[in-house]
Amino acid sequence: MTGTPITTIRNLGPSVEKQCHAAGILDAETLRELGANEAYRKMLQSGTHPHFIGYYVLHMALQGRPWNDCKGAEKDSLRKQFDDLKSSTKAAPLSRIEAELIAIGVLPPGFDRTP
């Protein structure tokens, strides 16, 4: 039995819930237990495209704060954490379609999903 849906957490909608599920985070309780940083690491590992706004929205949501409440030094600190997490996390292998697009030259060799 799964717990409370992730979408019950303020500012987290179906898209985030889908990304969490793909990362093995099936409910709000597990997400809260993991915390924003570890949950986002799992999401990146499962193929979520890294995006700073999504990262800090997750932090704000787990604190019960509005998504746009992150400002100034706090936002700068989260940006550094995000950059460190992104550079230290190995993403899921390329999908079959990505590999095929590389093979036919649509995507460049060494294609990387990260911006």
In a domain, 111, yes or no: no
Backbone angles phi, psi at 64, to 5 degrees: 75, 25
Structural domain including 55 reads 6-103
Residue 91 in contact with residue 44, Cβ under 8 Å? yes
In a domain, 112, yes or no: no
pLDDT for residue 115 is more than 70: no
pTM exceeds cut of 0.75: yes
Of the chain, the percentage scoring pLDDT greater than 90 comes to 63
Of the chain, the percentage scoring pLDDT greater than 70 comes to 90
In a domain, 1, yes or no: no
Residue 5 in contact with residue 27, Cβ under 8 Å? yes
Domain count of the chain?
A: 1
**What is the DSSP code string of 101-114?**
HHHTTSS-TT--S-
- CATH code of 49's domain: 1.10.150.20
